[in-house]
Structure 1
Amino acid sequence: MKDVVTELETALEYQQEDKDRSLDDNVESFVSHDDTNPRDPIGRYIHVNKEFTFTEVNSVRASASKVVCCHFSSDGKLLASGGLDKKVVLWYTDSLKPKTTLEEHSSLITDVRFSPSIPLLATSSFDKTVRVWDADNHGYSLRTFLGHSASVMSLDFHPNKDDLICSCDGDGEIRYWSINNGRCVRIFKSGAAQVRFQPCHGRFLAAAASNIVSIFDVETQICRHLLQGHTKPIYSVCWDPTGEYLASVSEDSVRVWSLMAGNEGECIHDLSFNGDKFHSCVFHPSYASILVIGCYQHLELWNMSENKTMTMSAHEGLIAGLAASTITGLVASASHDKIVKLWK
């Protein structure tokens, strides 16, 4: 009960401070998608092959408050998690023992990302800042990027340009930052919920706002595709490791889009509401045809090639964040129940 009261007080405090902001800038709005869910943890059998298994291998109480995001380091040895308590914790994935806690943000953590190529970690927050940390020597942040006029909702590192980081805020502004010189190098509009660079190639940036995903050319900021079809706001987007496919998740729909030449921007798979409230997603690190979807209390494993699903009880609250490591084959889930779990 104490945690509930504390979280409510936090929400009311930020409502007062930002009462003239949009709902996207409201703490309670950001963490209130897990009211009820009628679904029983009984799913349809998912066919992959006889070797396929997906079981919980470890878990940890990661926070005193709701956890909303997580991400693996490029070598799979570390997992970062963050949420309502304003802290980011780095965990050793082999034991889920904490390595360190980063505590410079003054409001909830909305996103956390490791660089794919160098030992850096970036975090975004409702305090309107983006911070960059040395993942090995983490006494304090290396950079604090200021300039967003609304809560920063998401961020990402470019896969090939070590100096480039991107962030978006609740007012729909996207900013590119130079890590080396500490300055904003580009500003444009069209992202509010989440931004993700295309892995491997780094040619595109996917930006979710309302019920549309915009695909931007990273060099020119020209919008190459508008991915339309969701009827409700999109919570999460993720690329597959090849950068050829993008998944997008709203409360009642999951869509997978092709960005391959010849059918760029085409929706090739669509999973509609089946009782779960969808929220987060990640492609399975070992089975390309499987998308792992975070719901309220459950994980949904969707075999896209056969359009079959399996539902697994996983948490006591909304699964707000998912991450996958192709190095270890692990999937991580971060939940409003304050727990982080590892699956394989």
Structure 2
Amino acid sequence: MKTTVLFLITLFLTLALLLSDTPAQDYTTWSLPDGATMRLGKGSIGNITRIGNIAFSPDGTRLAVGGAIGIWIYDVRPGKEKELDLIAGHTQSILSIAYSPDANTIAASSTNDGTVNLWNAVTGERQTTLEGHTDAVYSIAYSPDGKILATGSCDNTARLWDAHTGEHKTTLSGHSGDVMSVTFSPDGKTLATGSRDNTACLWDVQTGTHKITLKEHTKNVDAVAFSPNGETLATSSYDNTVRLWDAMTGQHKKH
């Protein structure tokens, strides 16, 4: 009996010593499939019904991954992949993340609290909190010049904010369902929004006025994107279609 107990104690101590010498980041490379270089995040990765909670830095060297306890920051340069930091401060799982064009700030929203936090991307310190939405913020986007931040919420509105001070600039009201996606045109003059009311809308960023409503989809519009030249808007929907529109006139082009 004593021999068995001594053996178990010795085995336990040996394993403890081995584990204490194991690098903390080894989980990132354990049992990876062929072609994979790194495992990102720990535990739940945000809200499992959404894919909007990861974002590359503008230069492509960093990746922010939203999880249940915060935002993991990774160095993703080839051959140098490693975990850099955890930005903790949100009280719930991360829904949406966006890097500012200068890569100095990370904007992030979390489940159901209606707020957006702006974080210093280098130090991880909170810069400011944007408050005004009354329900979860599903989508965040910076204007190309980095001066304006757009947010889309389950309160059926999108909002525009001063990206540096956090000051609320205007509320874009017109959708009758959750605003699932927001994106700026390449020139920053137009904002497109996609909603669970089955429509997409185009808005004048400077004045906040509604320009056009795009109505051909039969189910939720969950993503919107401009072409690089800004002439075409693409929308994707739960009706299993992607549609192309003239971004100036709103004319339906193809699906």
Provide TM-score, normalisation by structure 1: 0.56
Structure-2 change in CA distance of 1:218 and 1:92 (3 Å): same
Report the counterpart of residue 44 of structure 2 in structure 1.
65
Which of the residues 202, 214, 217 maps onto 2:188?
A: 202
Name the aligned partner's letter for residue 251 of structure 2: E
User: 1:247: Cα distance to partner?
Assistant: 2.3
Q: CA RMSD of the aligned region, Å?
A: 2.3
Corresponding position: 1:124 with 2:109: yes
Helix, strand or coil for the counterpart of 1:193? strand
Alignment partner of 1:243 out of 204, 217, 230: 230
Whole-Å separation in 1 of the counterparts to 2:218 and 2:35: 33
Q: Report the CA distance between 1:118 and its aligned residue.
A: 4.7
Contact kept? 2:117, 2:129, Cα under 8 Å: yes
Instruction: Report 1:11-22 matches (<5 A).
Output: none
Is the contact between residue 159 and residue 171 of structure 2 (CA under 8 Å) also seen in structure 1?
yes
**Rounded Cα–Cα distance in structure 2 between residues aligned with 1:89 and 1:254:** 33
- 3-state SS of 2:126 partner: coil
* Matched position secondary structure for 2:72: strand
Alpha-carbon spacing, 1:234–1:59, altered in 2? closer, same or farther (3 Å) = farther
Report the CA distance between 1:56 and its aligned residue.
5.6
Residue type at the aligned position of 2:230: G
What is the aligned partner in structure 2 of residue 212 from structure 1? Answer: 199
Shift of 1:57: 5.2
CA displacement 1:259-306 (0-9 Å, x = unmatched): 455xx3233342xxxxxxxxxxxxxxxxxxxxxxxxxxxxxxxxxxxx
Match of 1:234 in 2: 221
Task: Report deviation, 1:218.
Answer: 0.7
Q: Tell me how far apart the structure 1 counterparts of residues 94 and 241 of structure 2 sit (CA, whole Å).
A: 25
**8 Å Cα contact 1:257-1:265 kept in structure 2:** no
Cα 1:172–1:260 shift into 2, 3 Å: closer
Kindly indicate whether the alpha-carbon contact (under 8 Å) linking 1:230 and 1:253 is maintained by their aligned counterparts in 2. no
| Mapped partners of 1:242, 1:137: distance in 2 | 35
Query: Hey, what does 1:141 align to over in structure 2?
Result: 126
**Structure of greater relative contact order (alpha carbons < 8 Å, 6+ residues apart):** 1
Distance 1:182 1:61 in 2: 30
Q: Which runs of 5+ in 2 are unaligned?
A: 1-33
In the alignment, what sits opposite 1:8? none
Rg: which structure is higher?
2
Q: Distance in 1 between matches of 2:62 and 2:104?
A: 11
Query: Does the 8 Å CA contact 2:119/2:126 hold for their aligned counterparts?
Result: yes
Q: CA deviation at 1:255?
A: 2.0
More strand by share: 1
Question: 1:332 aligns to what?
Answer: none
* Structure 1 residue 168 displacement after superposition: 2.0
Question: Normalized against structure 2, the TM-score is what?
Answer: 0.74
Structure 1 vs Structure 2: percent identity of aligned residues?
26
| Aligned-pair CA distance for 1:123 | 0.6
- Aligned pairs for 1:1-344 within 5 A: 58-67=37-46, 68=51, 69-83=53-67, 85-94=68-77, 95-126=80-111, 127-138=113-124, 140-160=125-145, 162-189=146-173, 190=175, 192-199=179-186, 201-210=187-196, 211-259=198-246, 264-270=249-255
Change (3 A) 1:225 1:88: same
Paired with 1:181 and 1:255, the residues of 2 have a C-alpha distance of: 36
CA gap of 1:239–1:97, structure 2 versus 1, over 3 A, is farther
Structure 1 unaligned regions, length at least 5: 1-54, 271-344
Contact 1:235/1:249, CA 8 A, preserved across alignment:
yes
